[in-house]
Structure formats: C-alpha cells, structure tokens
Structure 1
Amino acid sequence: MAEACFQIIKTGWAVKLGQRVKSWKRRWFVLLGNGHLRYFVDKSTYIEQGCMILTKNTCITVSCATSSGVPINIVNKKRTLIMTCETHAEAEDWYNKLKDVCDTLEK
C-alpha cells in the first residue's frame, strides 16, 4: 500500500491559473497515487511550486475548449485549480486519471 501512495500516475505539461496573481503559467504536473497533484516550473529540477491534495469529494470537470486550450476545473473545500491542456485527448486523459485517483481515496 505504501508503494501506491508515491506511485506516479501521470505527468505532463499544462497551463494553470495562478491562485493569488491571476496569470497563466506553464507548469509540469505530477499526479501521485496518494492524491497529491504537484506542479513544478520544469520537469528536470523538481522544485515544487505548489500542490493540491485531492479527496474522494474533489469535483473535477472539463470545460469547453477555448483558443488557449481545454480547461480542467479541480475543486475541493480548500481551493480551485484550473489547468488547461493543449488538446481534448490530453484533457480527457488527465480527467480520467484524476477521477480514478479520487475514487480510490478516503474522504
């Protein structure tokens, strides 16, 4: 069970909307089996810029595509994270992986 907690489920580039300063930043996202969605400036340095902790009750939706990509809204009690993928296929893959992880978590 401990190994599953730190298992990398998915990685990839996406653009996220800043929480305090509302600007879009390109980040390297890493989804772990323990429900931690971490993001970094790049994939080689692994200096964490932030983390969202998913739960069984986290709400995940995919919005309509815009000129800048396909937004995924990830909402829990503490915050909302908007990450935008370049393609529908990438957004769908992130959505499925995020939902799968949330479904395995306890409240």
Structure 2
Amino acid sequence: MASLWRAATGQAEKPNNYDGVEFWSSPERTGWLMKQGEYIKTWRRRWFVLKQGKLFWFKESTVSRVSTPRGVIPVASCLTVKGAEDVLNKQYAFELSTRAETMYFIADSEKEKEDWINSIGRSIVQHSRSVTDSEIVDYDSKR
C-alpha cells in the first residue's frame, strides 16, 4: 500500500535511493524551517538540506550517511518559490509550488527566508527540464 501511495504521489519508489544524492556531504544550503504536516496540518520544525536539485527534510540537524529523510522534494518539479506572508498571515513565510500542490514554510528571519527563496530558485533553474539538449539551437555554429 505504501509503494502504491508513493507511485500515486510521484514520490520515489525506492525510498533509500534518493538518486545517489549524498545529502550528508557538502550541501548547497541547510537550516531549520517550519513545515506544515502533509495530513495533520500542524507546524513542525524540521532540518532542511538542499543538494543536487532535491530538498530533503529531517527531524534532527545531525545528518549523516545513515540518516533517513522524512521527505524529499525534487525541485525540478517546482514551478515557483516566493514569499507567502500575505497568504499565511505569518512572518517569514514562503511557498514552493508544483503543478499538483503548494507547500508552505516559515523561516526564522527575513534574511533566512530570502536566502532559502534564492537558493531554491537557483536550484529550480539549474535542474528544470524545460529545455532539452536537442531543443537548444546554437546560432553561432557553422553549418
């Protein structure tokens, strides 16, 4: 049943694979954020790790090779990341949107919020598949 749920929600079928991303080593960004639960909509403090186009979260900040993420968002599937104080009526809030859903987060400060938005935004651009190699036209090359 769990694998059926993961398939239906687009989550990886191999929960321990994470596409070979070594989230415990040299991440692009880490930090505490408040995240709303998927089913029970309470706010919980989670440790987030952004690396190689994936946003992982954990219960604890001590992340190692044997740590198991509580969840992962492939940022390539994300369309936007932007401030959301007006939506949630909470200071330092931001949202991350995919075609299917919008997830909300709360940072500890304005600077943290802006840093997360910038880092995730950069990662979305770097890992998006909106243009494939075959669609890139090199107008400078000689035919």
State the TM-score, normalized to the length of structure 1. 0.82
Pairing partner for 2:56 from 38, 52, 74: 38
In structure 2, the partner of 1:105 is: 127
Q: Structure 2: how far apart are the matches of 1:57 and 1:47?
A: 23
In structure 1, the partner of 2:110 is: 88
Specify which structure has the bigger relative contact order, considering alpha-carbon pairs within 8 angstroms and separated by 6 or more residues: 1
* Identical counterparts, % of pairs: 23
In structure 2, the CA distance between the partners of 1:70 and 1:55, relative to structure 1 (3 Å rule), is: same
In structure 1, the partner of 2:68 is: 47
In structure 2, the CA distance between the partners of 1:48 and 1:67, relative to structure 1 (3 Å rule), is: same
In structure 2, the CA distance between the partners of 1:23 and 1:57, relative to structure 1 (3 Å rule), is: closer
After superposition, the CA RMSD in angstroms is: 2.2
Q: Does the Cα contact within 8 Å between 1:41 and 1:47 map onto a contact in 2?
A: no
Unaligned runs of 5+ in 1: none
4+ residue segments displaced more than 6 Å: none
SS of the aligned residue for 2:93 comes to strand
Which has more radius of gyration?
A: 2
Q: Structure 2: how far apart are the matches of 1:57 and 1:15?
A: 19
* Structure with more of its chain in helix, by fraction: 2
1:13 aligns with 2:32: yes
Deviation per CA, 1:51-103: give whole Å up to 9, x if none. Answer: 11111752111122778541110011243221100111000000000111111
* Structure with more of its chain in strand, by fraction: 1
SS of the aligned residue for 1:48 comes to coil
1:25 aligns with 2:44: yes
Equivalent residue pairs, number: 102
Deviation at 1:32, TM superposition (A): 0.7
